[in-house]
């Protein structure tokens, strides 16, 4: 190489080298910013997923799907429940490698195991594994983990706890294959953060489930025992709301009066929480006392209840139907009722004719106790079914209420000759699609041998 060529090369290097170094630095910063932006988007997506779902397993399944392939080649989530390890999610970027473990039975608990997963579940972590250890005893947690890692083609595993304060609910395992880059400190920090967020989601879901279970148990305990009314053919059902909605103030009641008549009640206290269930119990007891002591008509009892409710309780708005059933030894059965803003009772005859009992309608309870309320009276045909129900049986989001009434009448007509218990069960089954609220139903079957009303000859 000539001196001139070397000189030309030096000039070229001096001119180009600083620019190239600057470009490399800019490219490195750009890559780091892109990785940071991706991590922030992942955190936002995970936070939204965990916050929007109250079912812990469903939320953790979505978390696992978000982690693959952005952070790892595979993601596994385990929960500790009743002393055992339950694999609630397992996702691999290659669907053919996704293990079948989530549908299998529980794995051994972590207390007596030396498996790294057990150590994390006992409070250690995060733990990074490249050497997975000996297989362990058959049926042990260690043996199950090694089998899982083989299924996932794991070369490195990062395990972080799902932890809130000092309580560990489970573990998040991130898996990378031999071809992938190893986990660095940034990914470990991200995984720990996600584990904490997932732990909060699990804790919230369990607290919510406990509250919902407590409210439902309270509500069921306040619903009446109908065994004391065996002279009547009655059927009652209560179905909690689906899709995670809270139980609330749907209620029914049935009790005898001193004159031999029977009071049937259906109602709905505004609200969907434990307080609504408590208010429902208070309201039920007040109504029983007023109806039994006063001997008043259904409208009179409703007026008294409205006044007492507004004077002595914190209950706000309530819809209800109070019906008094007269069952003489001879002659027709009579239904005497009033309706405070509630869906009208449905009468279905054995021939399949249906009628919504829309008389006796007045405003809801809790507006003004001085408002006038009327009664309605009807002969109950032999073999007919009188159905009281709450709005969860007929209402669907975005649907006109008229369609709900039509659907109810059609279903009731098709079930008119079925036994009463089957009538109620099938009616609920036919109406369950789209149910988003609690449902309470109370049915009365008039005996077929009751004497029909016949006009007197003039």
Domain termination site, one of 152, 180, 210? 210
In a domain, 24, yes or no: no
For the chain, give the secondary structure using H, E and C: CCHHHHHHHHHHHHHHHHHHHHHHHHHHHHHHHHHHHHHHHHHHHHHHHHHCCCCHHHHHHHHHHHHCCCCCCEEEEEEEECCEEEEEEEEECCHHHCCCHHHCCCECCCCCCCCHHHHHHCCCCCEEECCCCCCCCCCCHHHHHHHHHHHCCCCEEEEEEEEECCEEEEEEEEEECCCCCCCCHHHHHHHHHHHHHHHHHHHHHHHHHHHHHHHHHHHHHHCCCHHHHCCCEEEEEEECCCCCCCCCEEEEEEEECCCCCEEEEEEEECCCCHHHHHHHHHHHHHHHHHHHHHCCCHHHHHHHHHHHHHHHCCCCCEEEEEEEEECCCCCCEEEEEEEECCCCCEEECCCCCEEECCCCEECCECCCCCCCCCCEEEEECCCCEEEEECHHHCCCCCCCHHHHHHHHHHHHHHCCCCCHHHHHHHHHHHHCCCCCCCEEEEEEECCCCCCCCCCCCC
CATH number assigned to the domain comprising residue 109: 3.30.450.40
Are 163 and 195 in the same domain?
yes
The structural domain count of the chain equals 2
User: Residue 44: which domain range?
Assistant: 31-210
Are 280 and 195 in the same domain?
no
Residue 244 pLDDT: 45
In a domain, 359, yes or no: yes
Are 259 and 317 in the same domain?
yes
In a domain, 3, yes or no: no
pLDDT digits (tens, 9 = 90+) for 95-120: 777 775 444 568 888 887 888 999 99
pLDDT of 458 > 80? The answer is no
Are 326 and 362 in the same domain?
yes
Are 200 and 281 in the same domain?
no
Are 51 and 133 in the same domain?
yes
Residue 103 pLDDT: 45
In a domain, 453, yes or no: no
- A 10 A CB-CB count for 339 gives 29
Domain termination site, one of 210, 234, 269? 210
In a domain, 9, yes or no: no
CATH number assigned to the domain comprising residue 326: 3.60.40.10
In a domain, 452, yes or no: no
Going by pLDDT thresholds of 50, 70 and 90, the confidence category of residue 166 is confident
More confident residue, 269 or 30: 269
Are 240 and 197 in the same domain?
no
Are 302 and 436 in the same domain?
yes
pLDDT of 178 > 50? The answer is yes
Q: In the predicted model, what is the mean pLDDT of the chain?
A: 83
In a domain, 455, yes or no: no
Are 114 and 253 in the same domain?
no
Top-confidence range, 55-59, 62-66, 218-222, 303-307: 303-307
pLDDT digits (tens, 9 = 90+) for 376-416: 999 999 999 999 999 999 998 889 999 999 999 999 999 99
Nearest to 430 by CA among 458, 396, 407, 455: 407
| Burial of residue 395 (number of CB atoms within 10 Å: 0-12, 13-18, 19+) | middle
Domain termination site, one of 178, 210, 242? 210
Are 261 and 351 in the same domain?
yes
pLDDT digits (tens, 9 = 90+) for 180-215: 788 888 889 988 988 888 888 888 888 877 777 776
Are 97 and 45 in the same domain?
yes
In a domain, 143, yes or no: yes
Are 206 and 244 in the same domain?
no
């Amino acid at each position: 190489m000539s001196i001139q060529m070397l000189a030309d090369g030096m000039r070229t290097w001096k001119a180009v080298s600083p620019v190239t170094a600057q470009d490399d630095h800019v490219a490195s910063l750009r890559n780091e910013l892109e990785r940071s932006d991706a991590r922030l988007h992942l955190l936002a997506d995970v936070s939204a997923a965990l916050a929007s779902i109250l079912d812990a397993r469903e939320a953790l399944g979505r978390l696992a799907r978000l982690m693959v392939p952005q952070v790892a080649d595979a993601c596994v989530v385990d929960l500790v429940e009743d002393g055992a390890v339950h694999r609630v999610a397992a996702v691999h970027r290659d669907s053919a490698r996704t293990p079948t473990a989530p549908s299998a039975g529980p794995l051994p608990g972590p207390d007596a195991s030396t498996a790294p997963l057990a150590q994390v579940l006992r409070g250690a972590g995060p733990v990074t594994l490249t050497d997975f250890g000996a297989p362990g005893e058959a049926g042990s947690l260690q043996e199950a983990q090694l089998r899982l890692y083989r299924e996932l083609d794991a070369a490195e595993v990062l395990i972080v706890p799902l932890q809130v304060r000092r309580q560990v609910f489970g573990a998040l395992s991130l898996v990378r294959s031999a071809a992938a880059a190893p986990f660095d400190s940034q990914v470990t920090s991200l995984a720990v953060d996600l584990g904490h967020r997932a732990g909060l989601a699990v804790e919230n879901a369990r607290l919510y489930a406990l509250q919902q279970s407590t409210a439902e148990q309270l509500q069921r305990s306040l619903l009446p025992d109908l065994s004391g009314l065996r002279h009547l053919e009655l059927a009652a059902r209560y179905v909690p709301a689906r899709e995670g909605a809270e139980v609330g103030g749907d209620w029914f009641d049935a009790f005898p009066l001193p004159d031999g008549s029977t009071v049937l009640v259906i109602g709905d206290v505004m609200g969907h929480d434990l307080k609504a269930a408590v208010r429902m119990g208070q309201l039920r007891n007040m109504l029983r006392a007023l109806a039994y002591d006063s001997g008043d008509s259904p409208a009179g009892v409703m007026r008294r209840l409205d006044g007492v409710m507004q004077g002595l309780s914190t209950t706000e708005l309530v819809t209800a139907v109070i019906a008094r059933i007269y069952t003489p030894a001879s002659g027709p059965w009579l239904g005497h009722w009033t309706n405070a803003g509630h869906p009208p009772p449905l009468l279905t005859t054995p021939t399949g004719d249906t009628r919504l009992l829309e008389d006796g309608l007045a405003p809801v309870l809790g507006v003004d106790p001085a408002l006038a309320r009327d009664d309605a009276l009807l002969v109950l045909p032999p073999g007919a079914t009188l159905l009281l129900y709450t709005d969860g049986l007929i209402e669907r989001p975005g649907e006109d209420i008229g369609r709900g009434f039509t659907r109810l009448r059609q279903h009731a007509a098709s079930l008119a000759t079925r036994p009463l218990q089957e009538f109620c069960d099938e009616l609920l089954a036919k109406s369950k699609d789209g149910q988003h609220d609690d449902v309470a139903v109370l049915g009365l079957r008039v005996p077929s041998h009751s004497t029909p009303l016949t006009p007197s000859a003039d």
